[in-house]
Amino acid sequence: MEITRREFLKMSAAGAALMAIGCPVAAWAAKGEGEPDRWVKGVCRYCGTGCGVMVGVKGGKVVTVKGDPKNHNAGFLCLKGALMTSVIYAKERITQPLIRKNGKLTPASWDEALNLVASKFKEAIAQHGPKSVAYYGSGQALTEETYLASKIFKAGLKCNNVDGNPRLCMASAVGGYVTTFGKDEPMGSYDDIDNASCFFIIGSNTSECHPILFRRIAARKEANPATKIIVVDPRVTNTTRIADIHISFIPGTDLALLNSMAYVIIKEEMDNPRFHGAYCAFMDKEGKPQTFEDYKKFLEDYAPEKAEKITGIPAKTIKEVAKIFAQSSATMSMWCMGINQRIQGVWANNLIHNLHLLTGQIGRPGATTFSLTGQPNACGGVRDAGGLSHMLPAGRLIANKEHRNQMEKLWGLPEDSLNPEPGLPTIALFEALKEGKIKAMLILCTNPAQSLPDVNRYREAMARKDKFICLIEVFQDAETVQFADVVLAPAFWCERDGVYGCSERRYALIEKAIEPPGQCRPSVNILVDLAKRMGVDPKLVPYNNAADIWDEWRAVAKPTVYNFWGITRERLRKESGLKWPCPSEDHPGTNIRYVRGEDPLVPPDHPTKYFFYGRPDGKAVIWFRPYVGCAEGPDSEYSFVLTTGRVLDQWHTSTMTGKVPEIQRSYPKAFVEINDKDAKKLGIQTGDHVQLETRRDKMVFEARVGEVCRPGLVFVPWFDPKLLINKLTINAVDPISKQPEFKICAVKVSKAAKA
Amino acid sequence: MIQFDWFSRLRNRWGKWVIIAPAAVVVLAVIFIVCFNLAFPRTRCEAVKHLEAPEIAGDCYGCHVKATPKAAQDWYESKHGVQLVKCFVCHGQPDGKGEVVFALNPDVGICRKCHDSSVTNMVNNYGLEPNCVSCHPFHQNSIHHRAYVKPVAKKTID
């Protein structure tokens, strides 16, 4: 379609000019807004790319934003980031605490609201024990907020029910990194993009979800046109516009593709035996040590001809892609929710790492295996600071006695006083709420009433009369507000200071630019106040501001591989973000981990160049991960696959982007994307109403017919609060990471009458 | 009858072509419009003026691919098009709501959101006015048009 359109236009250039003359073109004069008084450094509030922004303030008000030229984005911002200003001054801002009285949220004083929350939590713990309360956090909260909340609950209340929405977005990536390399977080950085000569992008619509990274990939291709870009996605997204090869496949079969690529790499002797011989261990799915020969035997099932039958990808293409991947001078893999939001998310992550370890495409500039993150502080805040139910700060585990003891010492607690039993991960947590086992829950900076899978089920849980939900939320029209018993009013984005950590291990400071409106308070102040009222030992929360918490967190991470002691508040104010490990104040930050001379944690006299110190034997693991399908594949009754995702304009549950008039105009509502051929069979045209029905619920969407989705697949974006697609999605989770499979469920598609 | 004189002079000079040529232009234009509408069956562009159809006013490209096809196609092939820096990010929207002023020529403050260093360089190093459009007319040159298909630059070997 694109090609025909382009060629057609070229041929009719004269006609086009004629048309243009016929159209009224008025020259509107652009009004200058006047220069801001000052620029305050920050980080974009939206995605995990973590672009640096400069906030332009005039007379105590934000008037504009621009990109921070010193940060990794080199001054560029995407559509959303460039239109941040309207969000801050939205009329839907909550500016004072609210308490639900007779079913209605009514304004209350801070004292009244906080005392009510504290009494409900104390009552629940006194009657039902610490397991009956919970904290549900967010990859959008500041690092200081997550660290503090996690400490209050785990150390103060002895409750490990501390989880957050990163469980829905990157838990599988964590699982992948931890099982393969021993420690979480990617070894590379965005700088690798400028050095890669092959990009293997799988399960990511980088163009719409991480636009500034897409810009950088395109710039790399522009600088070096020989750069190969491979996009593996069942949809022909905008990302494919710069791709050399786009591979579509039957949704859920990518594990077979990845194993098949490994088969081809070994079969055609494109592997790097000196690398995997020295730095890799082989393990079967039970974790038993195996050999390279066993691995070859395991891969026999994935010869390209066999994989073709599973995936629908021609064997020739699999061979070609494997060849480009293995033989490029530096290959960078990037993936996102297409890989993570799956019941075999961890395995799929492992299989991508396998390809890099087999070929030695790792630990050189441009050669790396890089997970993209959805939220601005899922990495820095939740993953690193330990805001998940099985974790303690800096990669420590609750189940590990030694780790608990370290934290008890650092937090000044008596030995063996931390609760040794891991808490409930997100889906289990909301199941417990449904069963009435969770009596009181604190939700910070996230919108589970829209973002959970099979959301009817959990909206029911949140609507229980006998539960108590305290929500710290910026906007009164967020879905979850309907279910809150108390809503507390936090300061938003640049109204307080704090640190965000993006996909590339970069910590950057959002500085305070303006005063919060009304009675809004920074969430750290709310949490400290609440903790004291809940009877938590004041010695555990001796903080005056976020900077105090940052210093404690630096000290807590110092003895671990997360060491970022050198990233002081002072440096963060001066510099536009720093990448850990960064053990001392004169350290410039680390681009490539696990490599001698690059990573400060590899001793300078280490006998070999690479050292995967995260694992006891210093070797990364090549896992035998067989192909397993999805939880709910299509069948004769529900014959289509439903997948969900983002669009460029809107972000997450659109509580923020929904406040930007330009964006609301350009992308007001969700739609269903359907393939031409399927649409023809069903008699559906663009603009028609289409009913989607899964085993959970049904809903009507407007159709957008085209060639984006492959036949048999339909796509619906999940931002629209009026069309909650998550009512239709499935709550099946990955057995290792506990991340739900948002990306695949079976759906019945039929034409509906126009309303 | 000056007009008549003018016409008859043309007629004397060009004969029947005076009528055939404009007629051909009109016919070609009609054919073009018909073909164009056939080429974009899914594109909706019922509105003649901007505010006549507020529900689709946000989909600038959807209409402009018909109304101003050259501008729309140049954008589509440009870096801004590939990266989906959509029309309204720089030009605002017809209803004038939001922070971006609806303008054919965006204020340099809009360019500065992403290209601040470049603007500052031009001002400091070349003493130029901070006015990008005067040298970089949007949708018409290599900066906005077919950006990723640049001809390979000639290299000289000293």
At residue A53, φ and ψ (nearest 5 deg) are -125, 155
What's residue B13's pLDDT?
Answer: 82
This complex has an ipTM of: 0.88
What's residue A744's pLDDT?
Answer: 97
What's residue A399's pLDDT?
Answer: 96
What's residue B40's pLDDT?
Answer: 58
| Confidence label for A317 from pLDDT (cuts 50, 70 and 90) | very high
| Confidence label for A8 from pLDDT (cuts 50, 70 and 90) | very low
> Cβ contacts (< 8 Å) between B147 and chain A: which residues?
222
User: Is residue B108 in some structural domain?
Assistant: yes
Of A247-256, A435-444, A450-459, B128-137, minimum mean pLDDT range:
B128-137
A170 is annotated as an active-site residue: yes
User: Is residue B45 in some structural domain?
Assistant: no
B85 interfacial to chain A (CB closer than 8 Å): yes
B33 shares its domain with B60: no
B142 shares its domain with B66: yes
Contact A422, A160 (CB under 8 A): yes
| Confidence label for B142 from pLDDT (cuts 50, 70 and 90) | very low
What domains can you pick out in chain A, each with its CATH number? Answer: 38-85 (2.20.25.90), 98-168+379-543 (3.40.50.740), 171-371 (3.40.228.10), 640-752 (2.40.40.20)
A208 interfacial to chain B (CB closer than 8 Å): yes
User: Is residue B69 in some structural domain?
Assistant: yes
At residue B86, φ and ψ (nearest 5 deg) are -75, 165
Task: Encode pLDDT of A398-444 as tens digits.
Answer: 999 999 999 999 999 999 999 999 999 999 999 999 999 999 999 99
B68 shares its domain with B108: yes
Q: In whole angstroms, what is the distance from residue B27 CA to residue B21 CA?
A: 10
With a cut of 80, say whether residue A198 has pLDDT above it: yes
User: Is residue B12 in some structural domain?
Assistant: yes
With a cut of 90, say whether residue B147 has pLDDT above it: no
First to last CA, chain A: 31
The DSSP annotation for A484-541 comes to -SEEE-B--GGGS-EEEE-TTSEEEEEPP-SPPSTT-B-HHHHHHHHHHHTT--GGG-
DSSP state of A602: S
B81 shares its domain with B134: yes
**Token digits of residue A288:** 């038993």
What's residue B68's pLDDT?
Answer: 84
B76 shares its domain with B136: yes
**Which residue range is the domain that position B76 belongs to?**
56-149
Question: Which tops the pLDDT comparison, B45 or A248?
Answer: A248
User: Is residue B13 in some structural domain?
Assistant: yes
∠ CA(A411), CA(A412), CA(A414), 5° rounding?
115
User: Is residue B157 in some structural domain?
Assistant: no
A375 is annotated as an active-site residue: yes
Q: Out of A334, A337, A391, A709, which one is annotated catalytic?
A: A337
Averaged pLDDT score across all residues of chain A: 93
B89 shares its domain with B138: yes
B128 shares its domain with B94: yes
Q: Out of A80, A183, A228, A512, which one is annotated catalytic?
A: A80
Task: Encode pLDDT of B99-111 as tens digits.
Answer: 899 988 888 899 9
The amino acid sitting at A608 is T
B22 shares its domain with B72: no
With a cut of 60, say whether residue A13 has pLDDT above it: no
B143 shares its domain with B65: yes
∠ CA(A216), CA(A221), CA(A223), 5° rounding?
90
Q: Which of residues 78-117 of A touch B (CB under 8 A)?
A: 78-79, 82-83, 85-86
Q: Are strands A133-137 and A280-283 parallel, antiparallel or unpaired?
A: unpaired
Smallest CA–CA distance, residue A177 to chain B, in Å, is 30
The total number of structural domains in chain B stands at 2
User: Is residue B66 in some structural domain?
Assistant: yes
What's residue A296's pLDDT?
Answer: 97
Q: In whole angstroms, what is the distance from residue A386 CA to residue A564 CA?
A: 15
Q: Out of A188, A338, A374, A395, which one is annotated catalytic?
A: A374
| Confidence label for B78 from pLDDT (cuts 50, 70 and 90) | confident
User: Is residue B16 in some structural domain?
Assistant: yes
What's residue A31's pLDDT?
Answer: 36
B23 shares its domain with B71: no
B78 shares its domain with B133: yes
Q: In whole angstroms, what is the distance from residue A554 CA to residue A499 CA?
A: 12
The pLDDT of A98-124, averaged and rounded, is: 97
Question: Which tops the pLDDT comparison, A512 or B70?
Answer: A512
B23 shares its domain with B80: no
**Token digits of residue A361:** 């495409």
